Structure 1
Amino acid sequence: MDWKKIENVETVEDIIKESRDRAVLIFKHSTRCPISSMALDRLIRSWDHQDMGHVGIYYLDLIANRQISNSIANVFGVPHESPQVLLIKDGECFYDNSHMGINYGDLKERLETSTS
């Protein structure tokens, strides 16, 4: 996966702008949490570029960037969790999930539903 790293709050504004043209996925990852590592690994192993190449994908190391994680929670109106995925379209979070609820099939289905 070709992740774009979120390392400053300005990137959140870039995500909002990008989401007006295509769906964006944010993965908030705790580098200290084995569940987070497992969820990330499952997502990476399942990711199919043919099906999901139209999605912008962003990665946040929330241990190094907790302030940005808090900003994401505030901007998109979702409670902070870790690990967590958010799907953004037209500047709004239309789906989020965390822990073992992070599932490639669910993400793909939500994305298909949001663009139809």
Structure 2
Amino acid sequence: MNWNNLNELSQIDQIIEDSKKQPIVVFKHSTRCSISATSLNRLERAWNVDNTPAYLLDLIAFRTISNQIADTFQVEHQSPQVLVIDQGKCSYHASHWDISMDELKPYISQ
């Protein structure tokens, strides 16, 4: 899986713009949380959609970006959390043990 690192606020605007062409996945990861590490690992092992852009946010290091994502997409902050951004809006989100490729795939397959 090829993650794009999400480490600048300006990338949120780019994600919104790019999501007008295809859905974008954002994974908000807490490097201090074992549930987050497990959820990330499960998602990476099941990932089978190479054409979908995916961003990984270290929310411990970049909490300001995490907060802006919550505000911009009107999704309460959770950790870990996966969001699908499509047409500039959050079309799907899940957190903790609810993060799964089976649940995510219908929102990113076109």
- Normalising by the smaller structure, the TM-score range is over 0.9
Determine whether 1:31 maps to 2:34: no
Measured in 2, the distance between the counterparts of 1:111 and 1:4 equals 17
Q: Percent identity?
A: 44
Gap runs ≥5 in structure 1: none
1:56, 1:16 → 2: CA distance?
12
Deviations 1:51-70 (A, max 9, x none): x1221100000000001000
Q: Deviations over 1:28-85 (max 9, x none)?
A: 000000000000000011111xxx1221100000000001000000000000000000
Q: For the Cα contact (< 8 Å) 1:23–1:54, is it kept in 2?
A: no
Report the AA paired with residue 87 of structure 2.
D
Moved over 3 A (4+): none
Normalised by the size of structure 2, how large is the TM-score? Answer: 0.97
- RMSD in angstroms over aligned alpha carbons? 0.8
Q: Which residue pairs with 1:14 in the alignment?
A: 14
**Residue 77 of structure 2 is aligned to residue 80 of structure 1:** yes
Q: Is the 8 Å Cα contact of residues 87 and 93 (structure 1) preserved in structure 2?
A: yes
Whichever structure has more helix as a proportion of its residues is 1
Q: Are 1:103 and 2:105 counterparts? A: no
Q: Unpaired segments of 5 or more residues in structure 2?
A: none
- Alpha-carbon offset, residue 110 of structure 1: 2.7
Check whether the contact 1:22–1:54 (CA below 8 A) recurs between aligned residues: no
